[in-house]
Copies of this chain bind each other. A is one copy, B any other.
């Protein structure tokens, strides 16, 4: 379980990044569905079989960077002070997303990925599946926090719905902002202010 530091893990990640970068440029160029795994593998210079040794599916390549962002969000939430209202903790745990919008390097990359996703209904579904997993992780964090605060009354359904609502704000802001960092932050704040739950 020791967090991925072993030499071999590192080189594995390097190869994955190389594949991801290559694939993304192909996807951006010709579209996701129109790009075959064979083409990606050839562009990288490996066999199709090896491609599937680094990614379990063609979809996963697209979410390579997103996956790590998700983990970061969940960790952020868990690290928030106990006394902070849950809704604010959720908002603050979304900060890394806003930061990525601010950084030109990440922004262009993320915008490209988002364009790829938006053009493929299948990828959009897969993306929402990831988001659902993120929501489970965030809900778990909120439940754990509620236990640590020794709250009895907290209702799992409400926590779950709250996380869903917060992620809906995130999603709405992302969709609405496109790649514009000036729009994203304010949109997210407006949405989350409007949906803020009364108490908790």
Contacts and interface: CB of A to CB of B under 8 A. Distances in A.
A191 to B, nearest CB: 4
A178 interface: no
B157 A173 contact: yes
B172 A160 contact: yes
A169 B155 CA distance: 13
Contacts of A129: 121, 124-125, 128
Interface string A188-200: 0011101111101
- The number of chain A residues touching the other chain, given as a range, is 35 or more
Interface of A: 121, 124-126, 128-129, 131-132, 155-158, 160-165, 167-169, 171-173, 175-176, 187, 190-192, 194-198, 200
B132 A191 contact: no
A4 to B, nearest CB: 23
A158 to B, nearest CB: 4
This chain: how many copies in the complex?
2
Given A124-B132, A195-B195, A161 B155 contact: no
Contact of A190 (B157, B192, B194): B157
A156 B176 CA distance: 8
Contacts of A192: 161
A53 B114 CA distance: 32
Nearest to A163: B168
A152 B113 CA distance: 34
B162 A195 contact: yes
Contacts of A121: 129
A164 B165 CA distance: 6
Given A124-B129, A160-B191, A167-B168, 4 more contacts: A128-B128, A157-B176, A161-B173, A164-B164
